[in-house]
């Protein structure tokens, strides 16, 4: 349940504080609040949002876990649960290390957006392959990443985000784009 506290400031303005309690990942209650100056409507809207999320059971305590930290927790557990082969597990770690973590590893899971995912895949579609079979070629003559590589990265991120929702790290998955096709990728410029 959320409540609104009205307070008169020294300068004569009125501020409205929305107060509510979150369950932390350690099972404790944590007081949380948001303040709105001279905007009772925004405070009431926030109250309704908090109550709706409480009702749905998706009101999450803010946490600071990054994409990289979450991946380090997620990968070993998924490898056992999904019975990944050692080769597949190595591929997953390599693709994340080479393609995803440099771009998104520092971001907090809760602040990850569909725009971040879209921009990542737009960049990956243009990225030149670093496959050993192309290393003899100059960078400008190398092909872009294969469609199968993009699909594997998509599958990893999609599964990771769905697991984060299930584990209540994030409210909803930021993956809103379609899975990349196996067809030809655009040439890098």
The pLDDT of residue 12 is 84
Give mean pLDDT, residues 43-61: 70
Give residue 188's pLDDT band: very low, low, confident or very high (50, 70, 90): very low
pLDDT at 189: 47
Give dist(CA 136, CA 128) in Å, integer.
13
pLDDT at 138 > cutoff 70: yes
DSSP summary character for residue 188:
P
Place of tokens 């990728």: 185
Q: What is the DSSP string of 22-87?
A: EE-TTS-EEEEEEEEET-HHHHHHHHHHHHHHHHHT--------BHHHHHHHHHHHHHHHTT--HH
Q: What pTM value is reported for the model?
A: 0.66
55-60: average pLDDT: 60
pLDDT greater than 80 at residue 21: no
Span 164-179, pLDDT tens digits = 888 888 888 999 888 8
Burial class (CB in 10 A: 0-12, 13-18, 19+), 71: buried
Q: What is the pLDDT of residues 61-113, one digit of tens each?
A: 567 789 999 999 899 999 988 899 999 999 999 999 999 999 999 999 988 99
Can you tell me whether residue 173 is helix, strand or coil? coil
């Amino acid at each position: 349940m959320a409540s609104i506290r009205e307070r008169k400031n020294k300068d004569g303005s009125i501020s409205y504080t929305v107060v509510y309690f979150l369950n932390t990942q350690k099972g404790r209650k944590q007081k949380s609040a948001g303040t709105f100056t001279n905007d009772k409507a925004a405070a009431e809207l926030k109250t309704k949002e908090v109550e709706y999320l409480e009702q749905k059971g998706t009101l999450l305590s803010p946490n600071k876990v990054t994409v990289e930290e979450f991946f380090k927790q997620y990968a070993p557990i998924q490898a056992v649960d999904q019975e990944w082969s050692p080769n597949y597990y190595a591929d997953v770690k390599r693709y994340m290390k080479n393609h995803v973590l440099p771009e998104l590893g520092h971001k907090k899971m809760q602040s990850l957006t569909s725009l971040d995912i879209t921009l990542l895949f737009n960049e990956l579609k243009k990225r030149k392959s670093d496959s050993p079979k192309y290393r003899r070629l100059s960078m400008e003559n190398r092909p872009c990443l294969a469609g199968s590589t993009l699909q594997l990265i998509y599958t990893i991120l999609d599964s990771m985000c769905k697991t984060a929702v299930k584990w209540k790290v994030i409210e909803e998955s930021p993956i809103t784009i379609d899975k990349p096709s196996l067809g030809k990728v655009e040439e890098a410029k």
